[in-house]
């Protein structure tokens, strides 16, 4: 089971994204798109910074990210198509247009990185907004992956679906996202243990 300190609850995630969305920093809009992408796809930070604009296959209605899974044992990883929600598609489409002028991007722009920074710089960006949102100092950028996968596990209750979203090779890697909610345990006890 994943420790509570390693992921954000719904309120904390909203605070973090609000801090980025309302930022007046020079690259605040880009930072917001980056954090929103991590929080709503569960991809690893290294996979996100490796994305090019050509990997963002988005319209206003649907789309996916062509993600290079970096933890794969193959030399160059494996490619996965990660589905996106409609709101994230619209956000990423505007981001791609701001970078290369149109979506889909022209073939000459396929080498342009969607998020032109390193994982270390991404971690610093996260800490700027974490501090602005007054969130605990122990949180790390990877918490956004844990947050998404925890939400997915809570909603679906299907570890196989969560495994597919996470890009895990083994189901045992996915089991850390199956938390036991005390309120749900209480509800179950009240329903199942009320035969007197």
Please, what is the average pLDDT of the chain?
87
Report the pLDDT value the prediction gives residue 87, as an integer from 0 to 100: 95
User: Lowest-pLDDT range, 68-77, 96-105, 108-117, 144-153?
Assistant: 68-77
E-state strands within 43-106? 56-58, 63-69, 78-83
Q: Say how many domains are in the chain.
A: 1
Report the pLDDT value the prediction gives residue 128, as an integer from 0 to 100: 97
> Alpha-carbon distance 54 to 61, whole Å?
17
Report the alpha-carbon angle 155-123-151, nearest 5. 5
Domain span including residue 19: 4-192
> Alpha-carbon distance 55 to 46, whole Å?
14
What is the per-residue pLDDT across 26-80, written as a single tens digit (0 to 9) for each? 999 999 999 999 999 999 999 999 999 999 999 888 899 999 887 655 555 678 8
Q: What CATH code is carried by the domain that includes residue 181? A: 1.10.443.10
* Helices vs strands, H then E, count in the chain: 9, 3
Report the pLDDT value the prediction gives residue 183, as an integer from 0 to 100: 74
pTM: 0.84
> Alpha-carbon distance 83 to 72, whole Å?
19
Report the pLDDT value the prediction gives residue 58, as an integer from 0 to 100: 93
Task: Kindly give, in sequence order, each residue whose CB lies less than 8 Å from that of residue 165, ignoring residues fewer than 6 positions away.
Answer: 42, 82, 148, 149, 152
């Amino acid at each position: 089971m994943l420790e509570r300190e390693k992921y954000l609850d719904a309120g904390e995630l909203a605070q973090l994204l609000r801090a980025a969305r309302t930022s007046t920093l020079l690259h605040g809009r880009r930072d917001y798109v980056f954090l929103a992408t991590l929080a709503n796809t569960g991809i690893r930070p290294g996979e996100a910074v490796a994305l090019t604009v050509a990997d963002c296959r988005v319209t206003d209605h649907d789309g996916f990210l062509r993600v290079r899974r970096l933890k794969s044992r193959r030399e160059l990883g494996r490619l996965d198509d990660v589905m996106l929600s409609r709101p994230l598609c619209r956000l990423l489409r505007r981001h791609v247009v701001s970078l290369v002028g149109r979506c889909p991007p022209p073939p000459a722009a396929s080498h342009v990185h969607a998020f032109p920074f390193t994982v270390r710089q991404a971690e610093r960006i996260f800490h700027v907004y974490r501090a602005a949102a007054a969130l605990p100092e122990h949180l790390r950028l990877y918490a956004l992956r844990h947050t998404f996968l925890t939400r997915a596990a809570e909603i679906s209750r299907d570890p196989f679906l969560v495994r597919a979203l996470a890009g895990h090779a083994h189901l045992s890697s996915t089991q850390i996202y199956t938390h036991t909610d005390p309120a749900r345990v209480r509800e179950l006890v009240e329903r199942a243990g009320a035969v007197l």
